[in-house]
Amino acid sequence: MTADLDLLDGVERRSFDGNERLATRGEPVYGEPTKDGWRVWDAGRSKLGAMLELRMETGLEGGETVLYLGAASGTTVSHVADFSGPTYAVEFAPRPVRDLVGVAEARDNLFPLLKDARDPASYAHVVESDVDCIVMDVATRGQADVANRNRQFLADDGRLLMAVKARSEDVTADPDDVFDDVLDSLESSYEILETTRLDRFHTDHLGIVARPK
């Protein structure tokens, strides 16, 4: 294992089969390689993992309260819960939520919510206010609108970590045009701090770090 001081507490680069890989300490979820209690965080299966691999300044330090939008079956949010505090995982599709509930059984700080991220009022009574971070990976049209609607949960000094999937907005449009439109829409609620294309790991995706206005 080699030290990597720019990573957050609870996330390290560990050696797996002679290769340095991003890893968190926790129970395996999706058949990822494990060693000495550490599990590979596969950036090819995780947009947030890709953002960390590409050295984006997420502002995460470890221990944050997180609202995760678009949790699916728990691939990325399981890693997030490994290094975070309370982690609220919103997913609207019942089938992946069943898997997500299984993932949460080994993580007392992970709270699955069968809710629609486009309707934050439906879980406002559960999610605490002033969360430190919103992680968003929602493959739907109107991704900026979802982020803007959920701004209400974010602390004034919190961070939005968002992966925009261009093809979910408009499969025929140039991805750069889609990303520009999303960024323009976000600026009603957020100050954009950093953007990076995630194509090395996820084609036609943009990683965004922002803070609330």
Task: Determine, yes or no, domain membership for 194.
Answer: yes
Strands lying side by side in the sheet with 154-165: 110-114, 87-91, 66-69, 131-136, 154-165, 205-212, 190-197
Is residue 78 within 8 Å of residue 103, measured between CB atoms?
yes
Model confidence at 2, in pLDDT bands (50, 70, 90)?
Answer: very low
The pLDDT of residue 212 is above 60: yes
Q: Is 139 annotated as a binding residue?
A: yes
The pLDDT of residue 4 is above 50: no
What's the mean pLDDT when you consider all of the chain?
95
Q: What are phi and psi of 47, to 5 degrees?
A: -70, -40
pTM of the model: 0.95
- The pLDDT score that the predictor gives to residue 6 is 54
Average pLDDT in the 65-88 region? 98
Q: Is 75 annotated as a binding residue?
A: yes
Task: Determine, yes or no, domain membership for 108.
Answer: yes
Identify the three-state secondary structure at position 82.
Answer: helix
Q: What is the C-alpha to C-alpha distance for residues 60 and 2, in angstroms, rounded to an integer? A: 20
Cα 13 from chain centroid? 19
Q: What is the C-alpha to C-alpha distance for residues 128 and 136, in angstroms, rounded to an integer? A: 17
E strands in the chain: 11-16, 19-25, 34-35, 38-40, 66-69, 87-91, 110-114, 131-136, 154-165, 190-197, 205-212
Residue 200's beta-bridge partner residues?
none
Q: Is 24 annotated as a binding residue?
A: no
Q: Is 91 annotated as a binding residue?
A: yes
Q: Is 92 annotated as a binding residue?
A: yes
- The pLDDT score that the predictor gives to residue 144 is 98
What is the tens place of the pLDDT at every residue in 153-177?
Answer: 999 999 999 999 999 999 999 999 9
Number of domains comprising the chain: 1
Task: Determine, yes or no, domain membership for 22.
Answer: no
Q: Is 145 annotated as a binding residue?
A: no
What is the tens place of the pLDDT at every residue in 25-48?
Answer: 999 999 999 999 999 999 999 999
Q: Is 137 annotated as a binding residue?
A: yes
CATH number of domain containing 130:
3.40.50.150
What is the tens place of the pLDDT at every residue in 101-137?
Answer: 999 999 999 999 999 999 999 999 999 889 999 999 9
Structural domain boundaries enclosing 82: 43-212
